[in-house]
Amino acid sequence: MDMVVLAHIKEQSRLSLGSYGRPRMTEELKEVGVDVGHRRVGRLMRENGIVVEGTRKFKATTDSDHTFTIAPNLLDRDFTADRPNQKWAGDISYIWTREGWL
């Protein structure tokens, strides 16, 4: 019985391009007439190395195409100092104030 279910799981995984996890795979198998529980599907997928190939949408978080002035790079990645408090670096993207986030 497990071999038949496993064959169906492999086929559905191939058809879905690896995007079906345990819940969706169980639903698909029930639609094609294979009566199986989600725990068995999960176990068979895990034992046979069938995993979901997840992808994420690209989200741009930085706007490099702007007209604002750009501060000069004074350190040029030289972070060594002879004594404390000679070189400080930081990047504040936003800060909470009484008026809200700035």
Interval 37-90: pLDDT, tens: 999 999 999 999 988 887 778 887 777 788 888 888 888 889 899 999 998 877
Count of residues for the chain? 102
Count of beta carbons in the 10 Å neighbourhood of residue 18: 14
Record the pTM. Answer: 0.51
Model confidence at 95: pLDDT above 90: no
Q: Cα–Cα distance between 20 and 18 in angstroms, integer?
A: 6
